[in-house]
Chains A and B, each alone.
Chain A
Amino acid sequence: MLIEVRILRYNIETQQKSHWDVFEVEALPEDRILDVLQEIKSTKDGSLAYRKSCAHGVCGSDAMIINGVNSLACQVLVKEVSTPIKIEPIRGLPVLKDLIVDMDTFFDSYKKVLPYLISEDDGGERERLQSPEDVEKIEDTTKCILCAACTTSCPVFWTSDSFVGPASLVNAHRFIFDSRDKGNTQRLEILKDVNGAFRCRTAFNCTDACPRGIKVTKAIEEVKREISLNS
């Protein structure tokens, strides 16, 4: 079937401001939006730019706004959205070209929360023991693929990219509640900062946006509670 797709275009190299381009392309109902973008790039406009890799929702390359909703282009099917399909880059990060944004701020914030296991010993010759119940506590937040769908749906982040943002808090949660980690004194001190966890205003946009179904707001609330209990 023939569908209409509207894409917000921009090129930092040549353009002052963004504009909408309209494409009509052949698509099947079960095609992914990423397939549709590929079809446009192959047959209509070779310069259309977007990131892609795994094409099934595990690498986190292709977060974008599809009909107003932060999504992964490889996880949304044509039959699930109304036409014309409107596609825009995610918000709050500088757009470089079409659907590609500059991810530096996002990964810098991630690195700020010490996203790695901090332990006092070398672990010994065998694995550390951890109960299935303790694994369960971090099961949800270990699923994060750093796609930025949550952070770029957050109204607080839109107004100030100095806020560490939901994705960094999810990754902090993953270590704060890991029974093997001993880095909470340092990590919670960082998250107490004015740009840390308490800037979250529980809008729940992040939870709705997460393509992995992580309960992001709940994780942030648990981080806030942990900071309060330890100060």
Chain B
Amino acid sequence: MKIIKHTFDGVIVGAGGAGLRAAIEAAPYMNLAVISKLYPTRSHTGAAQGGMGAALANVEEDNWNWHAFDTVKGSDYLADQPAVDILCKEAIDSVIELEHWGLPFSRLDSGKIAQRRFGGHTVREGEAPAFRACYAADRTGHMILQTLYQKCVSMGVQFFDEFQVLDVNIDDGVCKGVIAYEVSTGYIHIFESRAVTFATGGFGKIYKVSSNAHSLTGDGPAILFQKGLPLEDMEFYQFHPTGIYKLGILLSEAARGEGGILRNKNGERFMERYAPTIKDLAPRDMVSRAIATEVREGNGAGPNSDYVYLDLTHLGEEVIKEKLPDITDFVRTYVKIEPITDPVPVQPTAHYAMGGIPTNTSSEVCSDEKGTVLPGVFAAGEAACVSVHGANRLGTNSLLDIVVFGRRAGKSMVEYVSSTRPDGLSESVATPIVNKIKKLLEPENNTPSSVASIRNELQESMEVNAKIFRTEKTLADQQEILGELREKSKNINVSDKGTVFNTELLEAIELEYLLDMSDATVGSAIMRKESRGAHTREDYPERDDENYLKHTFITKDSEGNLEVNYKDVELGKYEPMERKY
């Protein structure tokens, strides 16, 4: 197996919004490489639709403190409040900066950036829905990704496209570089680099019905988890209320921000019963739970009574065409329904990981619950957990997270690189990876590997046992299933023995990452004996601040045994209250 070595000061893994934003910050000050398993413009930031929250106050009075209040309340008080303050305060400059770099925001007649309503965002701490989400029609993420990539092109940032990350080298507690697989050639590349940022995105492919791209397999978090490092708050996984039925394709909350209504099979606007003040614009955990409850109580529509309707028919053709063009096209393309005249079947879809690689507000990775910094390793975006989203992320805050903490990761890389010296990395560090790949490719075999069938079993069982409603029993059952799937995965033999675009081999590697993410999710969920945000334990239906106002830190030892530790939430201005909308 051919091995190629590179030397850089810094490497960013992942070229979505967080990775690109970090690159823009770091590139002028160091020899930097960005490696991505896709072409950067294919990254999943591009699938984000509705908007980016920032208290610009272009439509009505607003200030970032109200945004912070909403974010903390939305998080079910699990977010760290100093981090939330940073997020909401820096949101304003981050939006302006993207505009200056050319992002084509939708505009008000005044020429200012347009803002719309979104779930959980209010004025004056809960009084009424707020116009806070800055948007570009319903393709805000696409425009952010394009704008950041364009900026990188203008700066001459060096990209390694279609390189799959396989390992990070941490020697005596200090980062030395990363190892990646070049998909087009099968070569192993060692990137010697004393600063490494993981911005690899989420892992929504652990579930069957998911809004996530095929590529979202938790690569960064999994690689660190395999090294015995902790992951934070992995039990908190967000299910977006409105995925297209069965397919899971996202229909933005902007649809409800513009006035769309959820209805059950009787045509009833059921959210009036669950969130009397802001109704359909309640946070995602509450709306998804409401939909699941309606379905359980027999109020679901369709032959299997398992979906509800997103009704846009009263909005009128003009609003739909101008403000929701893409998502209504998805509906026409995939389910052949005309949303201008007919309601759309929807169900909750796996969407966003609140948990991930623990970081501090400088985007430095922490190696334990005490906040010990792992020198040279940084993380940002969905792969990371700062935590600004706590137990439930508000819509529009992920696009903020990537730019605010992507920028901070880039800054921290610059500081770190300027205060350290290169230390060398030998080619032998690739040996374990080379052996791992060899094992997957040997022996001779002409039938497709079992990757797809194991992945299907994983996704289907996670869907049943670890989705919106969870109990001790479903989680214990799932742990057993995960153990069996892990055993099966040890015998995977890839039938494609080639080196050029061996995507079967890549899927085998990604499956291992998915199993790690599932272990961490279920292992954290079974230990949290309360219900908070997106984590609903039917056997422990109440929030328990006395015992669980804490972040979960889960680790796995070389034997595969899981261990859970906790870290107190950093409170601030807002004391935990009952969460009503």
A89-101 vs B: 1/0 string, CB under 8 Å?
0000000111010
CB of B265 within 8 A of chain A?
A: no
The listed residue with most A CB atoms (<10 A of its CB), out of B38, B101, B501, is B501
Contact B104 A128 (CB under 8 A): no
CB of A129 within 8 A of chain B?
A: yes
| Chain B residues near A41 (CB-CB < 8 A) | 448, 452, 503-504
Contact A53 B213 (CB under 8 A): yes
| Chain A residues near B470 (CB-CB < 8 A) | none
Say whether, besides A46-B448, A59-B47, A127-B113, A146 and B500 are in contact (CB < 8 Å): no
Cα A96 to Cα B448 with chains together (Å):
21
| Chain A residues near B452 (CB-CB < 8 A) | 38, 41-43
CB of A130 within 8 A of chain B?
A: yes
CB of A178 within 8 A of chain B?
A: yes
CB of A83 within 8 A of chain B?
A: no
Contact A47 B495 (CB under 8 A): yes
Contact B504 A125 (CB under 8 A): no
Instruction: For chain A, residues 124 to 146, give those with C-beta under 8 angstroms from any C-beta of chain B.
Output: 125-132, 134-135, 138-139, 142-143, 145-146
Selected interface stretch from B147-155, B256-264, B294-302, B567-575: B147-155
Selected interface stretch from B138-146, B163-171, B399-407: B138-146
Decide if the interface of chain A is mainly helix, strand, loop or mixed.
Answer: loop
Contact B504 A47 (CB under 8 A): yes
Cα A24 to Cα B451 with chains together (Å):
21
Total count of chain B residues near the partner, CB < 8 A: 63
Selected interface stretch from A8-16, A152-160, A192-200, A201-209: A8-16
Cα A116 to Cα B104 with chains together (Å):
12
Instruction: For chain B, residues 80 to 102, give those with C-beta under 8 angstroms from any C-beta of chain A.
Output: 95-96, 99-102
Q: Name the residue on B nearest A213 (C-beta).
A: B329
CB of B107 within 8 A of chain A?
A: yes
Cα A213 to Cα B447 with chains together (Å):
40
Contact A42 B448 (CB under 8 A): yes
A117 CB to closest chain B CB, in angstroms?
3
CB of B111 within 8 A of chain A?
A: yes
Contact B498 A47 (CB under 8 A): yes
B143 CB to closest chain A CB, in angstroms?
7
Contact A117 B213 (CB under 8 A): no
Contact B501 A180 (CB under 8 A): no
CB of A58 within 8 A of chain B?
A: yes
Cα A102 to Cα B105 with chains together (Å):
33
| Chain B residues near A213 (CB-CB < 8 A) | 329
| Chain A residues near B95 (CB-CB < 8 A) | 127
Contact A135 B106 (CB under 8 A): yes
Cα A30 to Cα B345 with chains together (Å):
15
Cα A9 to Cα B501 with chains together (Å):
13
A24 CB to closest chain B CB, in angstroms?
15
Cα A127 to Cα B498 with chains together (Å):
51
CB of B228 within 8 A of chain A?
A: no
The listed residue with most B CB atoms (<10 A of its CB), out of A14, A55, A122, is A55
Q: Name the residue on B nearest A52 (C-beta).
A: B214
B210 CB to closest chain A CB, in angstroms?
10
CB of A19 within 8 A of chain B?
A: no
The listed residue (B41, B215, B503) touching A145 by CB distance below 8 A is B41
| 3 cross-chain pairs, A with B, having the tightest CB-CB distances, nearest first | A117-B102, A129-B111, A42-B452
Other contacts beyond A47-B502, A57-B330: 9, CB < 8 A: A13-B499, A43-B448, A59-B46, A59-B47, A116-B151, A116-B153, A135-B106, A142-B146, A146-B39
Interface set of A (CB-CB < 8 Å, partner B): 11-14, 30, 32, 38, 41-47, 49-50, 52-61, 75, 77, 96-98, 100, 102-103, 107, 111, 114-117, 119, 122-123, 125-132, 134-135, 138-139, 142-143, 145-146, 174-175, 178, 180-181, 213
